[in-house]
Structure 1
Amino acid sequence: MKKIIVALVSLMLFAVPAMAEMKIAYVDLQKALNLSMAGVAAKNEIAAQVKKYEDEFKAKQDDLQKMKDELEKQAVLLSDSAKAQKEREFQQNIKELQRFQKDVKEELQQRDADATKKILNRLFEILQTLGKDGGYQMILEKNEGAVIYADKSVDLTDELIKAFDAAQ
């Protein structure tokens, strides 16, 4: 038991000075993504695309409503086969609208993922440089649960955003 305690005390005596020399920092990558010029531009581009698709979806929805209203008005005048044909066309248009909505959602998610990946890759390159140039032994990501507490003085997020924007 004494040997274990002596070993632990020895380890602590040598480890503490080494740890005192360690330079550690953290970054908030989500903040960097959201506040960097490239992140803001990507977000605006996707928002414009969303608006375009929303307008297109609304127009298709309005057309469907007109088709439904027309079908209801003509229901008594149409023969059973003509009525069934119009209802099939209406159901087909509903399926097409749902497919359009699903395709648009997938496309927008893919665009967002691609833009995010591109920006993150560049942020990681810049973090490598900041880490080496700043003499850091470790830089942690704040939102991944690894940082429970850190003083603001070791937060490199704003420095990362400035370096990223300057590199663009």
Structure 2
Amino acid sequence: MGEENTMRRMIKTCGMAIATTLIPFSLWGQSDLKIGYVDVQSIVAGSAEALVVEEQFQQEMIRWQSEIQALQGELEELIGQYQAQEASMTLQNRTSREELILRKQEGFENRTQELETLASTRQQELFQPLMERIISIIEVVRREGSYTFIFNSSVGVFLYADESFDLTEEVTQRLASGGL
């Protein structure tokens, strides 16, 4: 999770740097500037399709969560057996069991990381069609409204934005109606 938050901050920072560098150049010579914004996170959260996709994702996660719980149970059982028998073990047996526990713990951590990566990838795969539809709708709104820029307010870049420039509801309604 820490890496994901770090990556998000880096993307936001890079995006802001690029935007503040390129926007003045792209505006040079343009007389009519029209800006809007949407809260993509809010659009996704309010979407009926997102609820269906999230339910499907949660169903798929059950198998992976069960696997992680089983591995964790095996590890805890090994540790419990070791602790119960530690006093009566020879040094060689104790060392052997400790190595076994360490290998099992390492395997557990590796598999957990692997499953988290698989889950993240699967979640992206499931949500990709919805995100593509939202982006297509935003593009249609931009084109029809002659907007120069439409920003995503959910990435936390804005300190203040006039609500009259908020296009979130329009995009949400178009998504709900299934049209572009």
Q: Into which bin does the TM-score normalised by the smaller protein fall?
A: 0.5 to 0.7
Deviation (angstroms), 1:141: 2.0
In the alignment, the residues of structure 2 paired with residue 68 and residue 30 of structure 1 have an alpha-carbon distance, to the nearest angstrom, of: 43
2:123 to 86, 98, 112: 112
Instruction: Please give the secondary structure, in 2, of the residue aligned with 1:140.
Output: strand
Question: What is the match of residue 9 of structure 1?
Answer: none
Structure 1 range deviating more: 141-150 or 89-98: 141-150
Question: What is the match of residue 151 of structure 2?
Answer: 141
Question: What is the match of residue 161 of structure 1?
Answer: 172
Question: What is the match of residue 163 of structure 2?
Answer: 151
Structure 1 residue runs of 5 or longer lacking an equivalent are 1-14
Instruction: Please give the secondary structure, in 2, of the residue aligned with 1:25.
Output: strand
Structure 2 residue runs of 5 or longer lacking an equivalent are 1-29
Across the two proteins, how many residue pairs are aligned to each other?
148
Deviations 1:31-75 (A, max 9, x none): 112221232333333344445433432332222111111122223
The alpha-carbon distance between structure 1 residues 128 and 85, as it changes in their structure 2 partners (threshold 3 A), is same
Deviation (angstroms), 1:99: 0.5
In the alignment, the residues of structure 2 paired with residue 141 and residue 45 of structure 1 have an alpha-carbon distance, to the nearest angstrom, of: 30
Deviation (angstroms), 1:24: 4.7
Alignment of structure 1 residues 4-23 onto 2, 5 Å = 19=32
2:41 to 30, 36, 41: 30
Deviations 1:101-155 (A, max 9, x none): 111221222233344444332212112223334x333452241535832234x43
TM-score if structure 1 supplies the norm length?
A: 0.68
Instruction: Please give the secondary structure, in 2, of the residue aligned with 1:141.
Output: strand
8 A contact 1:42–1:115 mirrored in 2:
yes
Matched, 1:90 2:101: yes
1:64 to 65, 72, 75: 75
Instruction: Please give the secondary structure, in 1, of the residue aligned with 2:36.
Output: strand
Tell me which structure has the larger Cα radius of gyration.
1
Q: Between the two proteins, what is the percent identity of the paired residues?
A: 14
How much is the aligned-residue C-alpha RMSD, in angstroms?
3.0
